[in-house]
A and B are shown apart, each in its own frame.
Chain A
Amino acid sequence: EAQVTQNPRYLITVTGKKLTVTCSQNMNHEYMSWYRQDPGLGLRQIYYSMNVEVTDKGDVPEGYKVSRKEKRNFPLILESPSPNQTSLYFCASSLIGGGSYEQYFGPGTRLTVT
Chain B
Amino acid sequence: AQRVTQPEKLLSVFKGAPVELKCNYSYSGSPELFWYVQYSRQRLQLLLRHISRESIKGFTADLNKGETSFHLKKPFAQEEDSAMYYCALMALNNQGGKLIFGQGTELSVKP
A42 touches B51 (CB 8 A): no
- In whole angstroms, how far apart are the Cα atoms of A108 and B32 in the complex? 25
Q: Which of B36, B97, B101, B102 contacts A48 (CB 8 A)?
A: B97
- In the complex, chain A residues 69-114 whose Cβ is within 8 Å of any chain B Cβ: 90, 92, 96, 99, 101-103, 105-108
- In whole angstroms, how far apart are the Cα atoms of A106 and B97 in the complex? 19
- In whole angstroms, how far apart are the Cα atoms of A40 and B6 in the complex? 11
- In whole angstroms, how far apart are the Cα atoms of A42 and B106 in the complex? 11
B52 contact set on A, CB distance < 8 A:
99
In the assembled complex, the CB of A55 is this many whole angstroms from the nearest CB of chain B, namely 9
A90 touches B44 (CB 8 A): yes
- In the complex, chain B residues 7-26 whose Cβ is within 8 Å of any chain A Cβ: 9
A33 contact set on B, CB distance < 8 A:
99
In the assembled complex, the CB of B50 is this many whole angstroms from the nearest CB of chain A, namely 9
- In whole angstroms, how far apart are the Cα atoms of A7 and B63 in the complex? 37
How many positions in chain A have a CB within 8 Å of any CB in the partner chain? 26
Asked, given contacts A40-B103, A90-B44, whether A58 binds B36 with beta carbons under 8 Å apart, the answer is no
A1 an interface residue at 8 Å Cβ cutoff?
no
What are 15 A-B interface contacts by the 8 Å CB criterion? A33-B99, A40-B103, A42-B101, A42-B102, A43-B44, A44-B101, A45-B99, A50-B95, A50-B96, A56-B95, A58-B98, A59-B98, A101-B97, A102-B34, A103-B46
Residues of B near any A CB (own CB < 8 A) = 6, 9, 32, 34, 36, 43-46, 49, 51-52, 86, 88, 90, 95-104
Given contacts A96-B97, A101-B99, A103-B99, 7 further A-B contacts (CB under 8 A): A43-B86, A43-B88, A56-B96, A59-B100, A90-B44, A92-B44, A102-B46
**Nearest 6 CB-CB pairs, A to B?**
A99-B51, A42-B103, A43-B101, A50-B96, A105-B44, A105-B43
